[in-house]
Amino acid sequence: MTYVVTEKCIMCKYADCVEVCPVDCFYEGENMLVINPSECIDCGVCVPECPIDAIEAESEDNLKCGLKLIMNFPASGLISHKISQQWQKQKNIGI
Sign of CA dihedral 32, 9, 4, 6: negative
Q: How far apart are CA 69 and CA 50, in angstroms?
A: 20
Q: What are phi and psi of 4, to 5 degrees?
A: -130, 155
Top pLDDT among 85 and 47 is at: 47
Top pLDDT among 79 and 45 is at: 45
Residue range 40-53, pLDDT digits in tens: 999 999 999 999 99
Cα–Cα–Cα angle for 91, 20, 40, rounded to 5 degrees: 75
9: helix, coil or strand?
Answer: helix
Residue range 55-68, pLDDT digits in tens: 988 876 665 555 44
Top pLDDT among 77 and 32 is at: 32
Query: How large is the average pLDDT for residues 2-8?
Result: 85
Amino acid at 77: G
Give the DSSP letter of residue 55.
Answer: E
